[in-house]
A and B are shown apart, each in its own frame.
Chain A
Amino acid sequence: MFRQARYDEPLIFEIGEKNTSEPQTNNIVPEKLSRKKLPDIPNLTEPEVVRHYTRLSQMNYGVDSGFYPLGSCTMKYTPKIVEEIAGFEEVNMHPHQDESTVQGSLKIMYELQEMLKEIGGVDEVTLQPAAGAHGEFTGLLIAGAYHESRNEKRTEVILPDTAHGTNPASAHMAGYDVVEIPSENGMVNLKALKNALSEKTAVFMLTNPNTLGIFEENVLDIAEMVHEAGALLYYDGANLNAVIGKARPGDMGFDIVHFNLHKTFCTPHGGGGPGAGPVGVKKFLGKFLPVPVVEHGGKKYYFNYDKPDSIGKIKGAYGNFAVLLKAYVYIKLLGGNGLKKVSEIAVLNANYMKKKLEKYFELPHKNLRKHEFVLSGSKLKEKNARTLDAAKMLLDYGLHAPTIYFPHLVDEAIMIEPTETEPKYEMDRFIDAMIKLSESPLKNYSPKNTSAGKIDEAGAVKDLVLSWKMVKER
């Protein structure tokens, strides 16, 4: 089934007449600074530009095109009202505007902080981080400031082998040594954790449910162990969609929590971004949050910069406001009752798909799953094929492929997250496709019903072309 167009669309630089214009004589800026040759950007009319990018959009697959079970990314449907409101003219304010002229924006930020406190079971929230990884980095800086304030030098961050790649990368950027511990039955190995914890441990980072979709049943023991060692427990919110409205990270003992608004709270992924990664903390860490936080006093909302122990800023301005607004609209639409249904149906869907597919693929660990599950494509190897081939075959059914080859501890991993916004018949279509391809997988499969055949990714590295300039120099 075709779900995208297959055009031979030229690069925008190759459209229309060749651009030959030279800079006009230009004494408006000092001669030493003036540009002698205009950048090679074509001079096109609006219809030419709109047609080009419309055609490119038709060669792209989004959640609005069909099933997008990309594990760990929570590719749920975004209600259209969310986008409409974010486009209102009143959203387009300058960050340095006088507080009296942005009371609407401040109210929304304040209320979103309050909502996230309730959802996360935390006491204070910063909306500043622009993405999940940015939230992790912020959380680790807060942890660092906390340990420093107690005159403790803690140099290590521990994480399980199921952790997202951003966890170790953020820990490294924040200046920590990374200690990875193995899992046992798809969960944190308590013995390994105990052995790894020491007076050097700053933070233990955990995703719960983890990236296998398994809820860490021992989370309360884990919290106790981590705290006993004087370390902090960090919650990677990538998988919050599994438990929203059913349990709260703060109640589980997590000290620092990040939220992925572009996952759990439906803000669209934008082809890779923007997202937003607010961070919530327990009361004793509140004073370290980035400045400013939004507060409410008397009749006015205002920015509080008066936080002498704050870590400072982690990006310009206050966060991705337009994204924050979208999440705010979503929470209003769903409400406390609706958010609970989100996790219930997300988990229901995942377990349904797991049940249907576990007969045909290896399913490491038999535990109950939450919103996602990870199959192994190892059986495909008996038929000379691999998980990559299965993914490419799925594309020909008009479906997006799951996340593949992650988490690393599962051989030939296939990570499936249906989300709550998928109708049963679409899941069934995916299940049927998976069963069919498990029976006769094809080696080195190149999809036919897509905008392009199988892409030579190795070739892109070998013969590196990153821009039109590099095309011209070839």
Chain B
Amino acid sequence: MNYIPNLEFKEEILKEIGIKRIDELFSDIPEIVRINRLNLPDGKTEMEVKKEITCTLKKNKRTLSFLGGGIYDNYVPSAVKAIIQRSEFYTSYTPYQPEVSQGMLQAMFEYQSMIAELTGMDAANASMYDWATSVAEAVLMCSRITKKNEFIIPKNIHWEKKSVLRNYTKGAKLKIKEIGYDEKTGEINLDELKSTINDNTAGVYVENPNFFGVLEENVADIKNIVGKTLLVVGINPLTLGIIKPPGEYGADIVVGEGQSLGSPMNFGGPLLGLFACKKEYVRQMPGRLIGMTKDSDGRTAFCMTLQTREQHIRREKAASNICTNESLCALSAVAYLSLLGSDGLEKIGKELVSKTKFLADEINKIDGYKAPLFNSCHFNEFVVKTKKDTNRIHKRLLESGIDAGIILNQHFPELGNSMLCTVSETHSKEDMLRLVDALKEVKDV
């Protein structure tokens, strides 16, 4: 296959330029660093490459998986794949020329609109890299708005988010404080929040559902405690067909992971960072924003807007350095939500809650297991605590092709032997009972 059309016209073009050899075009590179070629194997045909990589990928093994923790194996409808495979979409770039990019611009406007509808915010941006970087950018945004330098996060968020947050806030010299959770309910400890918040607090971050899958029942009380301090809420978008939108309980900024909306897990990327906020803060928002306007004929049209926040205009004074984002994943999300509709979203939310409850109850019946560990309503995942060695359970189950969940021992030592088990609509009752039976069979660990 040849991807380089002008190889054949090389001589003709060289003549037009007025040189004899192609190397003359590279004469400005110091001789000492010029190389003859890279030490890589020669190129292969499409057939050879396909065969070889198919073979490599076959070394991956799908398991009956109950892994989650922010990245979920929800079903991706074929129509979503068909839409994002339209090459007019996926081979375009940032819509710098709006007159020839109306399709992607309108789709991104619809994406922003649906995220705003789900979260109860006024506007969303056209995507961030992932949930972790969305949280980090939200913290920086709060600090820009309030000119304050402390931020409060829950202790029980994904450990990767904490590390990302440390890296993103180092430059701005922000101080991150953690507050704990109630050991019975797994919900945020409101007393601790009360005593931690002070005049230097730029904002408070909470997740609903939180990392343990627990729905924060008293989330409405948080705004009363934080008062004028900014409230950032992290969400799983699939909850928002049945759960109150954060806009109704005082959120100023909403972030989350949008991967479950029509994108595969892809071994952790690309993901889709959701980022939405209230109207009054949009000028401090990171990332790309699509606005509605008119064209010269007075027809409704779309373009990038508030670009003076962005790096290509504002350079070091920009709201963020982000340029390339995750637009195609946002396109998956808007296609997915359109296919589901509000009814479908409500249905999937209910299904996940009841399936999760079913699996937790079944595991709880097994001797030596407590599930869910926390006495609360859970969405699509829950903590299982056991007297047994979770690492050994994991190894034993893997032999039967089952991944029971993320082991939490290392990151939450206070929970002892524990796992985070996640359910999706792809799990049948039989799948769940297979996990339960396998757990029952693990006796001697």
A317 contacts chain B at the CB level, 8 A cutoff: yes
With known contacts A246-B26, A314-B164, A395-B99, A61–B17 Cβ distance under 8 A: no
Using Cβ atoms and an 8 Å threshold, which residues of chain B touch A251? 33, 35
* A271: contacting residue among B61, B112, B328, CB under 8 A: B328
The total of chain A residues at the interface (CB under 8 A) is: 196
Q: Does A233 touch B at the CB level, under 8 Å?
A: no
Judge whether A355 and B40 touch: CB under 8 Å: no
Within the complex, the shortest CB–CB distance from A106 to chain B, in Å, comes to 9
> Does B170 contact A104, Cβ atoms closer than 8 Å?
no
The 8 closest A-B pairs by CB, nearest first: A317-B268, A175-B171, A335-B43, A60-B103, A95-B268, A270-B328, A62-B91, A43-B341
A352 with B123, Cβ < 8 A, contacts A56-B107, A465-B291 known: no
* A88 and chain B: residue at smallest CB distance: B57
The verdict on A329 contacting chain B, using a C-beta distance below 8 Å, is yes
Which of A165-173, A192-200, A378-386 forms contacts with chain B? A165-173
Q: A32-B217, A312-B166, A446-B296 are in contact. Are A60 and B46 (CB under 8 A)?
A: no
Least CB distance, B127 to chain A, in whole angstroms: 7
- The 16 sampled A-B contact pairs (Cβ below 8 Å) are A24-B346, A44-B338, A60-B102, A62-B90, A81-B49, A108-B57, A130-B130, A165-B311, A178-B315, A215-B28, A270-B329, A274-B328, A312-B166, A420-B6, A421-B5, A453-B297
Contact B245 A94 (CB under 8 A): no
Task: Please state if A470 and B279 are interface contacts (CB–CB under 8 Å).
Answer: yes
- Is A49's CB under 8 angstroms from B339's CB? yes
Within the assembled complex, what's the spacing in Å between the Cα atoms of A273 and B104?
12
Chain A residues with Cβ below 8 Å from B337 are 41
Across-interface contacts of A60 in B (CB, < 8 A): 88-89, 92, 100-104
Contact between A176 and B171, CB atoms less than 8 A apart: yes
Looking at the assembled complex, report how far the CB atom of B290 sits from the nearest CB atom of chain A, in whole angstroms: 7
Q: Specify which chain A residues have a CB less than 8 angstroms from the CB of B29 in the assembled complex.
A: 215, 243, 246-247
Q: Which residues in window 362-393 of B have CB below 8 A to A?
A: 377
Say yes or no: B106 contacts A59, CB within 8 Å: yes
**Are B394 and A98 touching (Cβ within 8 A)?**
yes
Interfacial chain A residues near B4, Cβ < 8 Å? 341-342, 345, 420-421
A95: which B residues are within 8 A, CB to CB?
Answer: 71, 265, 267-268
**B38 at the A interface (CB under 8 A):** yes
Evaluate contact between B118 and A39: CB separation under 8 angstroms: yes
Q: Tell me the nearest residue of chain A to B32, going by C-beta.
A: A220
Instruction: Mark the stretch among A278-286, A434-442, A456-464 that contacts chain B.
Output: A456-464
A23 CA to B342 CA, complexed, in Å: 9
Which residues of the partner chain B approach A319 to less than 8 Å between Cβ atoms? Answer: 268-269
Interface size on B, residues (CB 8 A): 192
Contact partner of A41 (CB less than 8 A), chosen from B117, B268, B320, is: B117
- Contact between A217 and B292, CB atoms less than 8 A apart: no
Which residue of chain A lies nearest to B59 when distances are taken between CB atoms in the complex?
A104
In the assembled complex, which residues on chain B have CB atoms less than 8 Å from the CB atom of A422? 5-6
Closest Cβ of chain B to A332, distance in Å, is 5
Q: In B161-181, which residues have CB < 8 Å from any A CB? A: 161, 163-164, 166-168, 170-173
- Give the A-B contact count at a CB cut-off of 8 A: 677
B113 contacts the other chain (CB 8 A): yes
Cβ-closest chain B residue relative to A23? B346
Of B77-85, B147-155, B228-236, the stretch lying at the interface with chain A is B77-85
Contact B60 A64 (CB under 8 A): no
* A362 CB to nearest B CB, Å: 20
B338 touches A57 (CB 8 A): no
In the assembled complex, A141 has its CB within 8 A of some CB on chain B: yes
Contact A453 B295 (CB under 8 A): yes
Additional A-B contact list (12), CB under 8 Å, known A33-B215, A422-B6: A34-B243, A40-B342, A49-B338, A60-B104, A91-B266, A97-B63, A141-B170, A273-B327, A313-B160, A323-B270, A452-B102, A468-B113
Inter-subunit contact A400/B33 (CB<8 Å): no
Distance A405 CA – B314 CA, assembled complex (angstroms): 14
The answer, yes or no, to whether B289 is at the interface (CB within 8 Å) is yes
Give the distance in Å from the alpha carbon of A446 to the alpha carbon of B362 in the complex. 66
How many angstroms between the C-alpha atoms of A369 and B299 in the bound complex? 42
Complex contacts, B133 vs chain A, CB 8 Å: 130, 134, 314-316
Q: Compute how far the CA of A423 lies from the CA of B140 in the bound complex, rounded to whole angstroms.
A: 46
**B414 part of interface (Cβ distance < 8 Å):** no
For residue B432, which residues in chain A have a CB less than 8 angstroms away from its CB?
none
Nearest chain B CB to A48's CB is how many angstroms away?
A: 9
Within A32-81, the residues touching B (CB, 8 Å) are 32-36, 38-44, 46, 49-50, 52-65, 68, 70, 73, 75, 77-79, 81
Instruction: State which residues 415-445 of A face B: CB under 8 Å.
Output: 420-424
Q: Assuming the A-B contacts A271-B90, A273-B324, are A90 and B299 also in contact, with contact meaning beta carbons closer than 8 angstroms in the complex? A: no
Asked if A30 lies at the interface with its beta carbon under 8 angstroms from chain B, I say yes
Contact B265 A94 (CB under 8 A): yes
- Considering residues B109, B164, B342, which has the most beta carbons from chain A within 10 angstroms of its beta carbon? B342
Do A316 and B93 touch across chains, with their CB atoms under 8 A apart?
Answer: no
Verify A35–B46 contact, CB threshold 8 A. no
Known contacts being A39-B245, A96-B69, is A169 close to B321, with CB within 8 Å?
yes
Most buried by B among A59, A171, A392, A406: A59
Bound together, the chains give a CA A352 to CA B6 distance in angstroms of: 11
Taking the closest CB of chain A, its distance from the CB of B34, in whole angstroms, is: 6
Interchain nearest-CB distance for B100 vs A (Å): 4
Contact between A467 and B124, CB atoms less than 8 A apart: yes
B377 to nearest A CB, angstroms? 6
**B53 close to A (CB within 8 Å):** yes
Give the shortest distance, in Å, between B318 (CB) and chain A (any CB).
Answer: 4
Residues of chain B lying within 8 A (CB to CB) of residue A34: 242-244
Q: Give the nearest-CB partner of B394 in chain A.
A: A98
Whether A272 and B301, one on each chain, are in contact in the complex, defined by CB atoms closer than 8 angstroms, is no
CB-nearest residue of chain B relative to A132? B324
A401 within 8 A of B: yes
For B43, list chain A residues within 8 Å (CB): 332-338
- Taken together as a complex, chains A and B put the C-alpha atoms of A443 and B162 apart, in Å, by 53
Interface mask (B382-416 → A, CB under 8 Å = 1, otherwise 0): 00000000000010001000010010000000000
List chain B residues, Cβ under 8 A from A41. Answer: 114, 117-118, 337-338, 340-342, 345
CB neighbours (8 Å) of B46 from chain A are 79, 81, 333
Contact check: which of A272, A312, A318, A424 meets B163 at CB < 8 Å? A312
Q: How far does the alpha carbon of A98 sit from the alpha carbon of B7 in the complex, in Å?
A: 46
Contact yes or no, A54 B294, CB < 8 A: no
**Complex-state Cα separation, A77 to B6, whole angstroms:** 14
- Cβ of A119 under 8 Å from chain B: yes
Per a CB cutoff under 8 Å, which of B49, B317, B341 touches A332? B49
Tell me whether A105 and B338 are in contact in the complex, defined as CB-CB below 8 angstroms, given that A26-B350, A62-B88 are known contacts: no
Q: Is the CB of A262 within 8 A of B320?
A: no
